[in-house]
Each structure stands twice: as structure tokens, then as C-alpha cells.
Structure 1
């Protein structure tokens, strides 16, 4: 499994793996892919710097990248206190009432506080870029489309290419006009922020629309699906949900065992696309929490980043319950393929062998 993307990024296989876990990202890179560390969890740029130092030491000299989040719409700045004033009291009351109805207790004093809204602000995302460019990264991706042109130019000045997610061909064309190097065609099946067009339709549309390498995202969890993506014109694949149920993920986030239990139990029907996580449409694991927000008395989700500010404390409490029916987590429809917790290297091996088997089947049809 080798494409021109491998030569460009210095990797063995055209498999890019997005993850909020540095342990998973490092393992993907060491297995021959490109691990991309999600930075949104870092409110503190110094903490990100320390984690990237760890990545430098634990990737064996293999390439890795980072993913930042730069929302395009106001409000994008201000302190958490300033933004909190913009949240309606009825929304706060609904969250508290829902947590009570679900039997979710307050956090214990020694509980870990996960990052909240600040990681979604332009100012914080820019600090992430500045920190990342002090390290030997090979890619910067923006999860919400094109970063500002000056950020793209800043990355290029350091010799680092930029990737941006697109849910429509028009988005992809705009990204390339802005200077983006790689377009991630993210289909409806994908976890997290995703559009309304399925991957089988979206990918060839974007490949035909732009003169730039396109990465396929959404619904990719086997070697057969990698082969299909490359057959449709992709230069490589962008994977995310596949890495949630890995042994390495627990090294970064030990409290995620309940989430992994929920993923192993889930089918491909057990996700929902909703704005309740960040304010923009995102695909989540379906739980009692998501069902509460779908009830007739639930308020409309707030715009980004206010929705994330509203629900982040609730997510901390939900995760602390260790209840698989309550955890709140972005996840794509590919979770239906997850049947156990595995090491990253084993998943990479399965992708490679499944790809070869798919090619062999096709060869028999000639």
C-alpha cells in the first residue's frame, strides 16, 4: 500500500490517524502511518508543548502531525467568564435538570477536569500552531475548514503542509484557493464534525473538483474500504473513530474504559448527528445524554463555541460515572466494526492485509 502521499509525508502507508491521544498518535506513526494529535483538549499551550516533546521522544523519528480547531464565526475570543455570560439561563437549567434526571452526581474534588471551551477559540488555536511549529511536525490540519490565510502562510514558511476538512466540493475548491495542500473529504458517516453527503458520492466529487491530493474520511475501518477509497481517487485515508478502542488510548485517558465498552457494544446504527456537542453538526455515540437533547422540551443548541462551553462540565461528570450508557463521545458509523479493544499495530496490520486481499479479489475478476 503506497501512494505519492507516502513520499510527500515520509510515511510507509497512506494511512493518517487522527486522535486526541499522544500514545495512539505515536503508535500510528511507529506502525508506518501518520499519527495526527488533536490539540483542542489543550487549553494551555505549555501543556501542548510538553506533550509534543513526548511525541518527539516516542515516535522513533517517524513523522507526525497536529490537528487544530479554528471556528470561523464570532464569538471567537474572550475569556471563559466573558463567554459564559452569553449562555441563556434556560440552557444552563436544562443541563442541570438533565444531569439530575440521569442520576449523574457532582464531580469529586480530586476528579480530572477535561479541557473545555478555550481550545475552540482562534487565539488558543493560533497558540497551538505556534507551539507545534517549534516541533518537527509534518502536517497541520484544521478540523473546521480552511485556517486563516496567514496561518497557512506561517505553516508553509516552516515547510509544513496544511490539510482542511471538506463536506462539499465547493468547500474543497475554497480550501485550495486559500492555499491548503491536502483536502480531507469527510463523508456523512464520519465521527465528529461532518456534512450531509455520503463518502461514496463525496469523494469522487472532490477528487474531480480540485488539483490537490484528497484524503478519504468517513466509514473507513478495513482494508477493503481503504482499497475502495484509493479506487475512487483518494491519495490516502483519514481515520479517527477506528483508534478510540485501542489499548494505547487508555494510556492517555485511563477514565475512558466505559467509552470503550460502549463502542464495543455499539452497532453502526448507534450514532446520531447533532449540534449538541459543539454547536456545529457532529456525529456522536448515541446515549441517554443525546436522547435527552432530542426530547421535545430540550432547547436548541447554541452556536459554537457557546454550546461546548455549556456542556463541557456536564461531559466531565458523565465520563466520571463510568457508565457506558452516559458517556458523550464523537464517533462515526464505522464503530459497528469495533468488536474488542486492540493495540494500534494490530489494526494497522489488519488494514494492510485486508487491502491486499481486496486487490487479490479484484484481480480474479479481470
Structure 2
């Protein structure tokens, strides 16, 4: 393997290859996380949609499936974040991954227990903030990425973030092969993080008919909309997305209230915690009250699509990269393919230097 493929991220995470499988709600369960870890990458278990008890069980199950290091993704602004962090510490987890920056005291607690802290960002200023808080690495996702996303393209975001922080940067948004890994290294990143590419593997528990729905789409079928919860996110263009975009305010109000009730039941969150979380979201993320009310729409509609397989009633988060994918390899096959292609590209770029 080309020496450039052994990056600071490998040592930081304790993995063979600088490839991260992101923590995708309803998708990154113990099976996918463990399969990625066994293949030499960093698998990240998604727990934002799980109760604390379910999180503990998922961590234990992942450890049963693999002896390799893995990460757990959680929300830094969750009312029970401190309790959940104890689950990671007690469970012997290697990496704590956050989509939103946790308080400094929680990062310090994780560091004291020997965990690595990784935060996902979509802007330079966010990278600077989490690095100042003590994050050990950042995942910088450009606008091509799936789910909630920003307006800045990956090719513009990466050099900004790499120049702004002194910690390893993982590139996300549009990556799926070895050429992309080499491109990320050229930007100064320490590896890549992929979501949609890992969703579309044979190890993913997403229903087969939903995977086929992804594979049949082109790049033009993947759009950014704020119709789901008032915040821009990238999803497959479906009839459900069209209906939501055309829905009136009353329809949205009723749907949001119903989804809030459903999310409380699924997540085990108490009503007072939901209200407190809503207030924190409005203050910390500068959301309107309408956006706060709509926030429960995303997890419940993603569950309908990605867990229940109801393409007609759910929504399907997707990076643009889905439009160029046409197969469902195992995680082992995928990572081996990415690494082999990256090795070939690097050696073709500088054959004399490598041979010397």
C-alpha cells in the first residue's frame, strides 16, 4: 500500500485505512458499523434516534460483532448527553462523533476517559469553533453530502477547513472511490468519510427495495429541499417530497405535531425534554419556531423510508454520489476497492518517486 494512505487519522482512530463510515440515523446500526470496522475503516454507530437503553444495547452488540475500534455518533445538545457519554466510556468505545458541537466539559470528560472526539462541520467557522473546544478531528461535509447540508461545495470547503485548523480533517460529500480519496489527500485531508456509499452496501440493513430505488436514480434525481423540517437537506426526489413541498401551513402543522408525538414515543424522550430541546435548538441554531416544530419530521419520515421501506410515505436522505453508484458491495469489498484504486492512482502520479 502506498505510504500516503497511512495518515494521522489511522493512528488517531486505531484503524488500517483512512476511511470513515458516517453515523446515519436508522442506517448505521451494529451490523454496518462492525462490518466497516472489520474491513479496516472506522465504523460509526448512529444513536441519535435510540433511547439510552437502546444505545447501550447497540454498543454491546457492536462489540460482540467486532473486536476492532469503532465510533458512536450522538447529539451534543441532547438533554441526556452526559448520561449517554457515560455509556460510551463504560462501553469501551474508541471514538465519540458529534453532528453538533458538545459543551467543552463533555469533551474534557471524554478525553479524560481516553476517547477521541470528532465533530462534523459544514463551514470554516464551525471547524474553528470545535477545534477550539478540543475536538481531535473534524469531518468537513460539503453541499454534495446527504441529509442536512450547507451551500458550500466540497471542493471549496475542504481547503478552507484544512487551512483553518491544526487537527486532522476528514473529507465528506461526494466521495465513493479511490480517486476521491486521493483528491481528499491532495487537499490536505487525512482521509474520507462516506455515508451514502456505505448505505448502499450488502451489509446495510436498509430494505432491498429501497436500495434499488437509490441505484436507479441519476444525479438529477437528488435534490436539496427545506420542505421536510424547514432546514435544507439533500434527499431523493420522490412523490412524497413533492407533496410536502406543496403542502399548506395547516397540513404542515398537523404533520409536525403527529411526528413529534411519534418521535417522543420512539426515542423515549419526555415532553419536558422535548420542549427544552426545542428551546435550545431555537437559541443555538437560530431556528424559527416553525422550524423547531418541524424538527421531528425528519427522523420519523426517514424511519418510514429507511427502516420500514415505505418509499411512498417516507423520505430518503442521499448524497449526490448515489447518482453514480450501480452496485451493492460488502463493506470489505468496498474498502478494498477504494484502497487499491487509490494506491494505483498515487503510484501513477509519481512512479519515479515511489520506485526510488
Name the TM-score class by shorter chain: 0.7 to 0.9
The gaps in structure 2 that reach 5 residues or longer are 257-288
Is contact 1:287–1:326 with CA below 8 Å preserved after alignment?
no
Say if 2:151 is the partner of 1:151.
Answer: no
Aligned-partner Cα distance in 2 for 1:53–1:320: 21
TM-score relative to the length of structure 1: 0.78
Aligned-partner Cα distance in 1 for 2:242–2:54: 34
Count of aligned positions: 309
Deviation at 1:46, TM superposition (A): 1.3
Identify which of 82, 86, 89 aligns with 1:130.
86
Is contact 2:235–2:318 with CA below 8 Å preserved after alignment?
yes
Relative distance call for 1:360 and 1:169 in structure 2 (3 A) is: same
Deviation at 1:185, TM superposition (A): 1.1
Identify which of 147, 170, 176 aligns with 1:221.
176
Q: For each residue in 1:97-134, what CA deviation from the matched residue of structure 2 results, as whole angstroms up to 9, or x when unmatched?
A: xxxxxxxxxxxxxxxxxxxxxxxxx1244433221221
Is contact 1:3–1:14 with CA below 8 Å preserved after alignment?
yes
Q: Which residue of 2 aligns with 1:179?
A: 134
Aligned-partner Cα distance in 2 for 1:305–1:132: 28
Q: Which residue of 2 aligns with 1:49?
A: 56
- Residues 12-161 of structure 1: pairs in structure 2 closer than 5 A: 12-19=16-23, 20-42=28-50, 44-59=51-66, 61-71=67-77, 122-144=78-100, 146-161=101-116
Identify which of 209, 220, 224 aligns with 1:269.
220
Identify which of 318, 324, 329 aligns with 2:316.
329
* Structure 1 segments (4+ residues) deviating >6 Å: none
Q: Which residue of 2 aligns with 1:11?
A: 15
Is contact 1:319–1:326 with CA below 8 Å preserved after alignment?
no
Identify, as 1 or 2, the structure richer in helix. Answer: 2
Aligned-partner Cα distance in 1 for 2:208–2:92: 32
Deviation at 1:326, TM superposition (A): 4.9
Deviation at 1:279, TM superposition (A): 4.3
Aligned-partner Cα distance in 2 for 1:324–1:65: 29
Aligned-partner Cα distance in 2 for 1:320–1:352: 30
Deviation at 1:321, TM superposition (A): 7.3
Relative distance call for 1:336 and 1:284 in structure 2 (3 A) is: same
Over the aligned positions, Cα root-mean-square deviation in angstroms equals 2.4
Relative distance call for 1:195 and 1:292 in structure 2 (3 A) is: same
Is contact 2:139–2:169 with CA below 8 Å preserved after alignment?
yes
Deviation at 1:41, TM superposition (A): 2.1
Relative distance call for 1:364 and 1:195 in structure 2 (3 A) is: same
Deviation at 1:31, TM superposition (A): 0.6
For residue 248 of structure 1, give the secondary structure of its aligned residue in structure 2: coil
- Residues 311-330 of structure 1: pairs in structure 2 closer than 5 A: 312-313=299-300, 322=309, 324=311, 326-330=313-317
Deviation at 1:359, TM superposition (A): 1.4
Which stretch of the first structure deviates more once superposed, 325-334 or 148-157?
325-334
Identify which of 354, 357, 363 aligns with 2:341.
354
